[in-house]
Amino acid sequence: MPRRSASTSRSAPRTALIATVTVAATAAGSLLLTSLPATADDPDTPPPVREGSPLPHTAARAPEGATQRALTAPVTDLSGKGKGTTRGYPREQVLAPDPENPADKSIKLGLTPYHGIVPKLNALQRLGDRVSVEIAGRSAGGHRLYLVTVTAPETAHQARAQDRLRELIENAPQSAAKDPALKKTYKTPVFFNNNIHGNEWEGTDAALKLIERLATAKDRNTTDLLAHNRLYFNITANPDGRIAGTRANANGFDLNRDLVTASQPEARAMRQIEIDKQPAVMLDLHGYVNGTLIEPTTPPHGENYEYDLFLKNTYANALGMEAAVNGLGYTPGKDGVEPAQIPFRDQEEGWDDWPPIFTPQYAAFHGTVAAHTVEIPLQVNNAAYDSLPVTELRRRSAINVDVAGAAMRATLTYVQRHRTTLIADQIEVFRRGAAGAAQIPVSERTVPGVPGIGPEDVYTTEFPRAYVVPAGGGGLGVPPLERSREWGRSDAAAARLVDHLLANDVRVTRATHAFRLGGRSYPKGSYVVDMHQPKRGLANVLLADGRDISDKVSVMYDISGWSLGRLWGATVDEVRSGRLTAVPARPVQEAASVGHVAPHGDLRLRLDSPQEIAALNSLLRDGIPVRQAADGSALVPSSARGKAQALARTYDVAFDATRTSRGTPLRHVRVAAAVTPGELFALREMNFDVVPVSTAVLNAGFDWSAADVLFVSAGLSYDRLNTAARTALDGFLDGHGLVGRGATGAALNSAAGLLKATAVEGNGDANGVVRVVNSGPVTAGAPGHGFVYAPVWFTGLGPAVTVEQSYVSGNPLVSGHWRSLEDGSGGPAAAAGRASVVSGPHVVLFGTEPLFRDHPKGSFPQVGRALLTVS
């Protein structure tokens, strides 16, 4: 079978790919559980009882979740760690039913609607002592997220022993590798994540069927499986989308792009499952690619993984899943089902594992050594959902459930056969990290049994010795006037970044005294990330610059750069060498609070982070007379000290003393926004009052008295407005401000005849972290890096136009993928030195993506300042 015999383009959302090879169907890998007895698809609904009541045969029940400290905080700890006691298994409870919803989009497909899940889970728990249900959190729309555990019963003592072994694997991997009790008794954690894209439904139903079979089967295979493994099922990772038939959740987010940022509660729940359960193997069930697509992937491969261990297991398990899926006997002619495909083997490029934003790729950094996206074959969403007969949709869905189930069962077969080596490989991931050991490049020698490995598959990195997040001095005994950008761009941004690292299970210490490291001096209170830690790959993938991979492949599936070290607004120093034992520091569980208010005089609030903009908006909403100083900070009168104290606690921001009194008055603004869901979320995160608008909304008659400024980046076309809507918009723009982003925002500016600036669109596939030069009041104090996605720059500037920011000369791309078009235009060389942000009377235009998917936190204040000053 040829390796990578064809090149496939991969554009979001994932669309059907054509299988390039034919795979002989076998039954190998599909033997497990084939003899299990079938049971009813729809178990009887239990009698109505209060949620959380114990089932008749157990007194155990699960709590429903903990209040989060902040957006970056973990959700419910599902491991039992830190609770004083650990419960055994089963951990059962009676769940209160959800209201019946006849509009649930699953119903048309003959699948389980969201309101049908609880009756099934209650019934499954009553079938015996193998099934436990816990609440992993709630979705953006308020729906419960159900985590089901299937395993042989454990006493509380046995469960505590499992916790100790799991922690030994991560915290003392060298000891774990030699521990005979671990090898003999540790249960391999396996995680099945389902329905992360809400309109890719069938993984949920396949999981419910599999759980039912596992709950009742008495054959030797099943009893052995559950005696030696814990199986975790996230029943639906996106209930909002499942109900509505949408890819995104109720906030409009694609959750399979949110794992680095974790802006959404569903992503935080999945993150916590990875941390608490530490799965060695995971499947993420998706659709729809015909034939069924089973990772591992094509290049480029994430350079921070221990890819030799990952590839060995993912390829071997993929072969078993392929055989199981093909062994179901579906054919192209009879059923419309093509043979399964494995991108690593069958494609040249187009299905990469470069960014950690995808669930399986993120899982690898928590010790998962076999993680897969599985794309089931037959499309039932989008146009197919609306156009195909119900009978055909249900035929397809039934096949998809069958295929998803085959992939799950084959994975369990692989786990049974390779349980010991899977755990040994997970231990080795953590050992390398803790020891600071070099990565092992993949080759046919280092990863035997995987054919076709070539130089295009080799991606490694040299990890730094440490990262330092310098303290700015807030609350640390450093006088405000001595704080400088050298010691931290923003205390609030640094605290937020550190909390995010901790929420991702990255270990951070805080200096108890001033110190020197890597030839530089740092003040007391600075944070240190020692890169000799078990999850060094995750620490590095979050903080490092990343790499320019433009010359590696022709096109990327999604973003290729994402550095929190460059984009989140805090100063982050990479330290290549140094003796960390000499650094006086102690571990932290959360960032130190930086919120404080000077006891006397007028106050100064820096505007370098989203939290600071949010605090400012709260002041303005309450009518506090705030002025903007020449350096861009906000000047708050001493009379508002009480309000400032409350905001310092709420947003963890600092109000310093100031003697400056001159400044431009600021006022509360209401924003009409034609933007992406990520931008809308970011605007509300900064506490702006926002009303969404679009071409359709304006054409229907929009009351412009409800807005003070218009922000446009998507969904609003001047040319498609009717006469009345265009006249109303022109009237609004005559006396109010416009903030535009990207080609859409620039087009509206031009059509309305506002700012004299010509927008030049770069390669539409380009994205990544770029170097910029800030030169105007809107970008004052901003980081020297930004993010682009389909970058834009501005030429032909009129005399009234101010260049707020420019791409640096040379090559502005730090990390990501940005190529010129075939005619040589649109590349980074064409953008070099050009204006990336411009302003003029009542207008600011962005060619960068300062709010992209709620991610580049350090750029948010640029938008905040623009909205506050153009109106």
411 and 518 in a single domain? The answer is: no
Q: Give the position of tokens 């803790």.
A: 434
641 and 781 in a single domain? The answer is: no
Of 54-68, 308-322, 641-655, 728-742, the poorest mean pLDDT is in 54-68
pLDDT at 489: 57
What's the mean per-residue pLDDT of the chain?
Answer: 90
| Mean of pLDDT values over 767-780 | 96
Q: Output the domain CATH number for residue 679.
A: 3.40.50.880
The helix or strand, by DSSP H or E, that contains position 306, with its residue range, turns out to be: none
pLDDT of 36 > 70? The answer is: no
699 and 813 in a single domain? The answer is: yes
In a domain, 95, yes or no: no
pLDDT at 203: 98
- Whole-number Å distance between alpha carbons of 410 and 494: 45
| Cα angle value 61/195/121 (rounded, 5°) | 30
710 and 681 in a single domain? The answer is: yes
Banded pLDDT at 77 (limits 50, 70, 90): low
Q: pLDDT for 779-822, tens place per residue?
A: 988 999 999 999 999 999 999 999 999 999 999 999 999 999 99
- Are 214 and 192 contacting, i.e. CB atoms less than 8 angstroms apart? no
Banded pLDDT at 471 (limits 50, 70, 90): confident
Q: pLDDT for 117-150, tens place per residue?
A: 999 999 999 999 999 999 999 999 999 999 999 9
Percent of the chain with pLDDT over 70: 88
In a domain, 853, yes or no: yes
- Print the SS3 string covering 443-468: CCCCCCCCCCCCHHHCCCCCCCCEEE
pLDDT of 388 > 80? The answer is: yes
Count of structural domains within the chain = 4
- Are 293 and 377 contacting, i.e. CB atoms less than 8 angstroms apart? no
- Whole-number Å distance between alpha carbons of 812 and 829: 8
Torsion of CA 46, 198, 233, 32, to 10 degrees: 100
Domain boundary among 587, 621, 651: 587
Banded pLDDT at 486 (limits 50, 70, 90): very low
Q: Output the domain CATH number for residue 233.
A: 3.40.630.10
Residues, the chain, total?
871
209 and 234 in a single domain? The answer is: yes
Domain boundary among 622, 642, 665: 665
pLDDT at 76: 58
| Mean of pLDDT values over 656-664 | 92
- Whole-number Å distance between alpha carbons of 238 and 203: 12
pLDDT at 644: 98
Determine the 3-state secondary structure of 742 from DSSP: helix
712 and 819 in a single domain? The answer is: yes
- 487: its two tokens: 């010691």
In a domain, 268, yes or no: yes
Domain boundary among 556, 587, 618: 587
- Whole-number Å distance between alpha carbons of 87 and 61: 9
> Any idea what DSSP says for residue 527?
E
pLDDT at 490: 78
- DSSP per-residue letters across 689-707: EEEE--HHHHHTT--GGG-
pLDDT at 344: 97
pLDDT of 448 > 60? The answer is: yes
> Any idea what DSSP says for residue 20?
-
505 and 537 in a single domain? The answer is: yes
Q: pLDDT for 239-262, tens place per residue?
A: 999 999 999 999 999 999 999 999
pLDDT of 364 > 50? The answer is: yes
- Are 830 and 818 contacting, i.e. CB atoms less than 8 angstroms apart? no
Q: Does the predicted TM-score (pTM) go above 0.85?
A: yes
pLDDT at 5: 39
Q: pLDDT for 307-337, tens place per residue?
A: 999 999 999 999 999 999 999 999 999 999 9
pLDDT of 472 > 80? The answer is: no
Q: Output the domain CATH number for residue 641.
A: 3.30.70.790
Determine the 3-state secondary structure of 230 from DSSP: strand
Sheet (strand 131-138) strand order: 131-138, 144-150, 229-234, 188-194, 281-287, 370-376, 293-294
704 and 645 in a single domain? The answer is: no
pLDDT at 85: 65
| Mean of pLDDT values over 277-306 | 97
In a domain, 285, yes or no: yes
Banded pLDDT at 75 (limits 50, 70, 90): low
Question: 60 exposed, middle or buried (CB, 10 Å; 0-12, 13-18, 19+)?
Answer: middle
550 and 696 in a single domain? The answer is: no
Q: pLDDT for 823-842, tens place per residue?
A: 999 999 999 999 999 999 99
- 807: its two tokens: 């791409």
The count of other CB atoms within 10 Å of the CB of residue 266 is 31
Q: Give the position of tokens 């399964």.
A: 340
- Whole-number Å distance between alpha carbons of 605 and 633: 6
What is the widest separation between alpha-carbon atoms in the chain?
Answer: 81
Torsion of CA 678, 679, 685, 691, to 10 degrees: -120
Alpha-carbon distances of 360 from 205, 218, 354, 587, 640, rounded to whole Å: 20, 32, 11, 29, 49
- Whole-number Å distance between alpha carbons of 12 and 646: 43
Q: pLDDT for 726-758, tens place per residue?
A: 999 999 999 999 999 999 999 999 999 999 999
In a domain, 278, yes or no: yes
In a domain, 81, yes or no: no
- Are 285 and 407 contacting, i.e. CB atoms less than 8 angstroms apart? yes
330 and 376 in a single domain? The answer is: yes
- Are 573 and 467 contacting, i.e. CB atoms less than 8 angstroms apart? yes
Q: Output the CA torsion sign for 443, 552, 437, 539.
A: negative
pLDDT at 4: 45
Of 428, 151, 458, 134, nearest to 301 by C-alpha is 458
329 and 344 in a single domain? The answer is: yes
Identify the domain containing residue 563 by its residue range. 466-587
Banded pLDDT at 661 (limits 50, 70, 90): confident
| Mean of pLDDT values over 259-266 | 98
In a domain, 87, yes or no: no
Spell out the alpha helix ranges (H) of 173-326: 173-178, 180-185, 202-216, 220-228, 239-244, 265-277, 307-326
pLDDT of 19 > 70? The answer is: no
In a domain, 441, yes or no: no
851 and 768 in a single domain? The answer is: yes
